[in-house]
């Protein structure tokens, strides 16, 4: 990739040169998914969790027109602080626009793979989704690699009329041999349809110490999984077999939210239904939908969904580090 558009941090370069494990981390959950200051604490917590098991974190974002693989703490702060107020002063981040440094106000977009060139050419700043992060991993030669996130994007509940399907699914089908650690699909989605779409694209979904698909903020979505592993060594062996067989697509490793943070499905479903109806009445769709729904559910659950989301993100980052370390050992 042309060096004019790409920066790889010194820590990631060093880890790669010494064949150390590297874990990529998407950043839309920090810029658009979590409120300030929980987002900064979680971003730092994820990087600490990766380092704690001997791997190098590589948070990914577009920073003033350059695709960055591995962010400095000051950049994590800038991304996180920009969430204090969303576009147009949207509520949900818990801060005021005048609390933020002028340089960061309202500048952090949400970029999937499609948006990267437009943001870079404009010299803009953007947090990366799962699809953009997977693509960046490939372009920076961090593939086959490992990344961590909270919940995958997928088929939205009204996709039959809106055709709203995340680019995460197509990029997962292209990310040959990579591992994506998550806690299932975001609660706002049509989860059975998303799981079916992954199967159609040949993307293997494997439970980590579970036989059921996690429900993102709940321990189970009520869907059985065909494949399971119980240790990082097992998933490393599975990845080696996947590569040596020449199979396409990523492997999605799903881990339930920590039990002490997990939510009960019934109140969560009720809160989500009310949030979806509010979004429909307000005409909110596309990229703005996920942050709107997350904030509405956070308010409806009195912050319990936020705590669960932060805990699962850090747990997934730690597991991703363990898997990445097992893959290079």
Residue of 243, 216, 239 whose CA lies nearest to 227: 239
Token code pair at residue 283 = 């005409």
Q: Please report whether residue 1 resides in a domain.
A: no
Cα(5)–Cα(140) distance, integer angstroms:
11
What's the Cα-to-Cα distance from 30 to each of 94, 191, 193, 269, rounded to whole Å?
A: 14, 23, 27, 24
Cα(147)–Cα(240) distance, integer angstroms:
17
Hey, which bits of the chain come out as E strands? 6-8, 22-25, 56-63, 66-69, 108-111, 125-128, 146-148, 179-182, 204-208, 228-229, 251-254
Token code pair at residue 276 = 């979806």
Count the helices and strands in the chain (H runs, E runs): 13, 11
Q: Please report whether residue 85 resides in a domain.
A: yes
Cα(216)–Cα(148) distance, integer angstroms:
13
Number of other residues whose CB lies within 10 A of the CB of residue 259: 7
- Answer yes or no: are the C-beta atoms of 45 and 5 closer than 8 Å: no
Helix (H, G, I), strand (E, B) or coil at 6: strand
Cα(322)–Cα(44) distance, integer angstroms:
18
Q: Please report whether residue 66 resides in a domain.
A: yes
Q: What is the pLDDT along the chain (329 residues), one digit of tens a residue?
A: 456 799 999 999 999 999 999 999 999 999 998 999 999 999 999 999 999 999 999 999 999 999 999 999 999 999 999 886 544 333 333 333 333 333 333 479 999 999 999 999 999 999 999 999 999 999 998 877 999 999 999 998 877 777 889 999 999 999 999 999 999 998 889 999 999 999 999 999 999 999 999 999 999 999 999 999 999 999 999 999 999 999 999 999 999 999 999 999 998 989 988 998 998 899 988 778 878 888 898 899 988 999 999 999 999 999 999 999 999 98
Q: Please report whether residue 62 resides in a domain.
A: yes
Asked, as a colleague might, if the bond just before 214 is cis with ω within 30 of 0, I would say no
Would you call 186 a catalytic residue per the annotation? yes
What's the Cα-to-Cα distance from 177 to each of 41, 156, 251, rounded to whole Å?
A: 31, 26, 7
Could you give the number of structural domains in the chain? 1
Would you call 26 a catalytic residue per the annotation? yes
Cα(66)–Cα(61) distance, integer angstroms:
8
Cα(38)–Cα(314) distance, integer angstroms:
12
Structural domain including 78 reads 6-328
Q: Domain holding 78: CATH number? A: 3.40.1790.10
What's the Cα-to-Cα distance from 102 to each of 37, 96, 97, 277, rounded to whole Å?
A: 17, 12, 9, 35
Q: Please report whether residue 67 resides in a domain.
A: yes
Q: Please report whether residue 203 resides in a domain.
A: yes
Identify the pLDDT of residue 126: 97
Parallel, antiparallel, or unpaired: how do β-strands 6-8 and 251-254 relate?
Answer: unpaired
Cα R_g (the chain), whole angstroms: 18
Which of 75, 78, 110, 186 does the annotation list as catalytic?
A: 186
Cα(60)–Cα(5) distance, integer angstroms:
13
DSSP structure string for 90-127:
-SSSS--GGGS-GGGTT-EEEE-GGGHHHHHHTT-EEE
Identify the pLDDT of residue 142: 87
């Amino acid at each position: 990739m042309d060096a004019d558009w790409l920066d790889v941090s010194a820590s990631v370069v060093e880890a790669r040169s010494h064949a150390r494990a590297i874990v990529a981390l998407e950043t839309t959950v920090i810029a658009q998914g979590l409120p300030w200051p929980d987002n900064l604490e979680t971003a730092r917590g994820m990087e600490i969790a990766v380092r704690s098991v001997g791997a190098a974190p590589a948070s990914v974002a577009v920073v003033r027109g350059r695709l960055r693989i591995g962010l400095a703490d000051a950049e994590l702060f800038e991304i996180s602080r920009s969430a204090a107020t969303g576009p147009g002063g949207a509520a949900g981040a818990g801060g005021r626009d005048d609390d933020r440094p002028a340089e960061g106000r309202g500048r952090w977009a949400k970029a999937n793979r499609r948006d990267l060139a437009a943001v870079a050419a404009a010299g803009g700043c953007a947090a990366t989704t799962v699809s953009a992060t997977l693509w960046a991993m490939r372009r920076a030669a961090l593939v086959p690699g490992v990344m961590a996130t909270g919940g995958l994007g997928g088929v939205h509940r009204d996709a039959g009329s809106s055709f709203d399907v995340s680019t995460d699914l197509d990029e997962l089908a292209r990310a040959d041999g990579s591992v994506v650690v998550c806690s299932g699909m975001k609660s706002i989605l049509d989860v059975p349809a998303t799981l079916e779409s992954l199967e159609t694209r040949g993307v293997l979904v494997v439970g980590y110490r579970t036989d059921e698909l996690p429900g993102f903020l709940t321990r189970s979505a009520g869907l059985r999984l065909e494949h399971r592993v119980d240790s990082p060594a097992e998933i490393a062996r599975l990845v080696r077999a996947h590569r040596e067989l020449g199979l396409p697509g990523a492997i999605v490793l799903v881990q339930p939210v920590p039990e002490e943070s997990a939510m009960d499905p019934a109140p969560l479903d009720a809160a989500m239904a009310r949030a979806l109806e509010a979004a429909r009445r307000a005409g909110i769709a596309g990229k703005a939908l996920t942050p709107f729904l997350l904030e509405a559910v956070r308010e409806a659950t009195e912050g319990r969904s936020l705590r669960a989301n932060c805990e699962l993100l850090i747990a997934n980052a730690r597991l991703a580090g363990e898997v990445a370390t097992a893959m290079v050992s």
